[in-house]
Amino acid sequence: MSSTDLDGMYLIQQVSDMTGLSKQVIRKWEERYHLVQPKRLENGYRIYSEVDINFLLSVKTLSEQGHTVKRAVEMTKARKIVVDAVPEPPQSLQHPAILNDYVFQLLEKGAHCDELELHLVLQKAYHSYGLDVFLTSVIVPFLKEVGDRWHRKEWNEYQEAVSSLVTRDFLVQIRRNYQCRENASLIVGACLPYELHEIPLHILLLQFMQKGWRTMLVGASPAPGSIELLVEKLKPAKVLLSATTTAPFENDPDLLKRLDQFAVDNKHIDFYLGGTGALAYTTNKKLRAIHVTNSIEETLR
């Protein structure tokens, strides 16, 4: 029986795949702390709702932050009382702390490295939500969960790679089919040399495309100098540089200095640098022409 057969309800094995918690732990938290109260099918099998799964994930996250399970349960229940007492608008679905049905399905399929099912779920979510909500409510929280589970060693490299690559390919497909005016302003998004993670740029460029921009992507780990050559050729209005790790700067200590000088020499173009690695590396470093930011609002000005 699949999750779709249960219409938004999930069997305990599916919940285990989605949360990374064993079935034994789920039952223990249910019975000892009364955290969730799953319904039962006629055959006695437990079935869990989206709310139940979010509660389990909340307790898991709080316990990983150092709280006892008992305290984490108390905090989660207290949060539920506050949320129930203050009605939220439909847009609350976009809150990254609240995962939705499509994210749960993706986590389940990703745990089993099922490429076809991952693609089909992404396709359904995209057509259901539209691009903007799809990116903020499905893609971003799903990839965050994937990254967190890989770092915690709950998922192996194959599970992380399959989930990330299927997601990347789906975003590439959207970008290729997205129609933009030929005379629209151009923005170039570029991974820095030695940077392997291009998905953040796909998300950013799609958000720019919604605003009417044409986009060009320089993918993972481009050759040194290729960014400058492309920018000189295309003359874009903006350039987004991305580094999720500090590897680009560690492998080429002069990289940032050269790019900043290139930006100085091309003052008619706005240069932005973002990503976790870039923010960490540029702390206490003053750049002359490159703006360091993780805010798409700033880059859209």
Per-residue pLDDT tens for 228-260? 999 999 999 999 999 999 999 999 999 999 999
Q: What is the pLDDT of residue 132?
A: 92
d(CA 280, CA 278): 5
Q: For residues 207 and 189, is the Cβ–Cβ distance under 8 A?
A: no
Average pLDDT of the chain to the nearest whole number = 88
Region 144-169 average pLDDT: 93
d(CA 150, CA 142): 12
Tell which of 147, 177, 207 closes a domain.
177
Backbone angle region of 27, left / alpha / beta, with phi > 0 → left and psi within -120 to 50 → alpha:
alpha
Structure-derived torsion over alpha carbons of residues 162, 104, 204, 253, reported in degrees to the nearest 10: -50
Q: Based on the domain organization, do 169 and 97 belong to the same domain?
A: yes
Q: Based on the domain organization, do 159 and 249 belong to the same domain?
A: no
Tell which of 87, 114, 140 closes a domain.
87
| Whether residue 82 has pLDDT greater than 50 | no
Q: Based on the domain organization, do 193 and 252 belong to the same domain?
A: yes
Phi and psi dihedrals of 43, rounded to 5? -85, 5
What CATH number should be reported for the domain holding residue 151?
A: 1.10.1240.10
Q: Based on the domain organization, do 141 and 207 belong to the same domain?
A: no
| Whether residue 95 has pLDDT greater than 70 | no
Number of domains in the chain: 3
pLDDT digits (tens, 9 = 90+) for 28-66: 999 998 888 888 888 888 899 888 888 898 888 888 888
Please give the helix or strand (H or E) that residue 129 lies within, else none. Answer: helix 115-129
Q: Based on the domain organization, do 156 and 217 belong to the same domain?
A: no
Q: What is the 3-state secondary structure (H, E, C) of 167-196?
A: HHHHHHHHHHHCCCCCCCCEEEEEECCCCC
| Whether residue 94 has pLDDT greater than 60 | no
Supply the range of the domain harboring residue 106: 90-177
